[in-house]
Amino acid sequence: MIWNPTKECMSREQMRELQGKRLHKIVEYVYHNVPFYRNKLQEMDLSPADIQTIDDIVKLPFTTKKDLRDNYPFGLQAAPQSEIIRIHASSGTTGNPTIVGYTRKDISIWSECMARSLTSFGVSRDDIFSVSYGYGLFTGGLGAHNGVETIGASVVPASTGNTEKHARLIRDLGITGIACTPSYALYLAETMDKLGITKDQIKLRVGAFGAEPWTENMRTEIQNRLGLKGFNIYGLSEVMGPSVSYECDEQHGSHINEDHFFPEIIDPVTLEPLEAGQTGELVFTTLTKEGMPVIRYRTRDLCSLLPGECPCGRTNVRMSAIAGRTDDMLIIRGINVFPSQVESVVLTMEEFAPVYMLIVDRVNNLDTLLVQVELRPDYFNATLDTPAAIEEIGNRFAAKLRGVLSINAKVQIKAPGTIERSQGKSTHVIDKRKLY
């Protein structure tokens, strides 16, 4: 099913025309309402009149996370406070959090985008849908909540925490859909195992997973354990929240709601736009946002835009899975390493639980990488009753890692349950190098 065929299946020419008109309007809007953008445009000798078609977007300056922090709390807000009906804040682990204010129209567009996403996943008014993103300042919980209400399904605002109670509700209420982070989905599966709740006692059939990068292997693992079909949903609070893009049944990339969020891919070093299909940093311009519009916002997510038409009938462009972050990319002995690469290898090893930790250090001026993994209690068997047998597993894993990372990693096999599980965004890296 398609929620809004007019917008999701528009011809490319119509879409570009619409995007051009909206871009001109939003540039004019921020020029008159946000001193930060007005100053930037004036420095570049640009006026809104110079921006008429979507191709003119490359003339505009970029916006970075630092710009948002420097203008904390309301410096980039374009609408007057009386028009703002909700304020979210992104996690501020370093420095100020990012404050995002939404007008009534913003919330309505967000709900629309969320409804498009859920409909694409096969959710309808007949579903009982549990939202297990955190409710609160994080956009995940309330964003997904509004979408579920918009399509008319029954929303269960489970939020995070109290996972045992949630697991029982999934069984007892016959909950059919869930939105959460992929790592929370695995945590939920573990909790169900612990409570003795089996796959055939639950009715989950759709999962909307996002807010952190995940891999195809992780998808298979979640689908096998919870008996549902898992779909990717992508978003970020600086642009809107979840539902900036969403997968369809084809599951080959996520369709971007590009009538509202215009995507570009740039080289993160030269800042030059890259050709379609190339991997680089994803950049978004909000075309319709009133509360806090962003112009060419650098997401720091690395991915590509997929060329070609999608068999599902939607014409809005697809983005690939996130290949990493420009800022959580580790450089170890000069080689770029993404935690997601390690994850993909961990998930090929049936001996290990789907958790891992990278510990990077520098010993005698040489970078070292230690990868911690955990034995899975239900896989442990009599053939593993000698240290030599355990070492063999470790060596096999290390060889696979080397094949993917191109550097040697030391492997540490740990007992079940000893690597910390996260209930929100996973943290998989401890960097002990004192480089800064």
Partner 1 sequence: MTIRQLSIFIENQSGTLQKVLELMRKSGIQIIACTIADTAEYGIFRIICAEADRACKELKEAGVAVAISDVFAIELNNQPGGAADVVGTFSAAGIGITYMYAFLLDGRGILILKTDQAAETEGVIRSRGLRCLSEADLLA
Q: Is 363 in the site for partner 1 (CB under 8 A)?
A: no
Among 274, 359, 413, 419, binds partner 1 (CB under 8 A): 413
- Token pair in block for residue 118: 């859920």
- Return the number of the residue (109 or 346) whose C-beta is nearest partner 1: 346
Separation CA 116–CA 113 (nearest Å): 5
State whether the Cα torsion 324-326-330-334 is positive or negative.
positive
Q: Specify the stretch interacting with partner 1 by CB under 8 A; choose among 80-88, 301-309, 334-342, 415-423.
A: 415-423
To the nearest whole angstrom, how small is the minimum distance from the Cβ of residue 384 to partner 1? 7
- Return the number of the residue (74 or 379) whose C-beta is nearest partner 1: 379
To the nearest whole angstrom, how small is the minimum distance from the Cβ of residue 412 to partner 1? 6
Q: Within positions 371 to 410, which residues make up the interface with partner 1, using CB under 8 A?
A: 375-378, 380-382, 384-387, 390-391
Contact 67, 91 (CB under 8 A): no
- Return the number of the residue (173 or 390) whose C-beta is nearest partner 1: 390
Size of the site for partner 1 (CB under 8 A): 20
To the nearest whole angstrom, how small is the minimum distance from the Cβ of residue 380 to partner 1? 4
To the nearest whole angstrom, how small is the minimum distance from the Cβ of residue 337 to partner 1? 22
- Return the number of the residue (11 or 386) whose C-beta is nearest partner 1: 386
Residues 6+ apart with CB under 8 A from 1: 119, 120, 122, 124
CA–CA–CA angle 69, 74, 76 (5° rounding) = 75
To the nearest whole angstrom, how small is the minimum distance from the Cβ of residue 163 to partner 1? 16
- Return the number of the residue (32 or 410) whose C-beta is nearest partner 1: 410
- Return the number of the residue (366 or 382) whose C-beta is nearest partner 1: 382
- Token pair in block for residue 416: 């079940």
- Return the number of the residue (388 or 435) whose C-beta is nearest partner 1: 388
Report the b/e string of 81-119 with b at 16+ CB within 10 A.
Answer: eebbebbbbbeeeeeebbbbbbbeebbebbbbbbbbbbb
Contact 287, 22 (CB under 8 A): yes
Single-letter amino acid code for the residue at 381: N
To the nearest whole angstrom, how small is the minimum distance from the Cβ of residue 377 to partner 1? 5
Q: Is 273 in the site for partner 1 (CB under 8 A)?
A: no
- Return the number of the residue (164 or 250) whose C-beta is nearest partner 1: 164
User: Residue 366 burial (CB < 10 Å; 0-12/13-18/19+)?
Assistant: exposed
Long-range CB pairs of 374-379 (<8 Å, 24+ gap) are 374/413, 374/414, 374/415, 374/416, 374/417, 374/418, 374/419, 375/351, 375/413, 375/414, 375/415, 375/416, 376/350, 376/351, 376/352, 376/416, 377/416, 379/350, 379/351
To the nearest whole angstrom, how small is the minimum distance from the Cβ of residue 381 to partner 1? 5
Among 49, 271, 276, 415, binds partner 1 (CB under 8 A): 415
To the nearest whole angstrom, how small is the minimum distance from the Cβ of residue 393 to partner 1? 11
Number of residues assigned to the chain: 436
- Return the number of the residue (135 or 380) whose C-beta is nearest partner 1: 380
Report the b/e string of 286-301 with b at 16+ CB within 10 A.
Answer: bbbbbbbbbbbbbbbb
CA–CA–CA angle 264, 321, 125 (5° rounding) = 100
To the nearest whole angstrom, how small is the minimum distance from the Cβ of residue 385 to partner 1? 4
H or E segment to which residue 357 belongs: strand 352-363
Q: Specify the stretch interacting with partner 1 by CB under 8 A; choose among 35-43, 134-142, 318-326, 370-378.
A: 370-378
Write out the residues near partner 1 by the rule CB under 8 A.
375-378, 380-382, 384-387, 390-391, 412-418
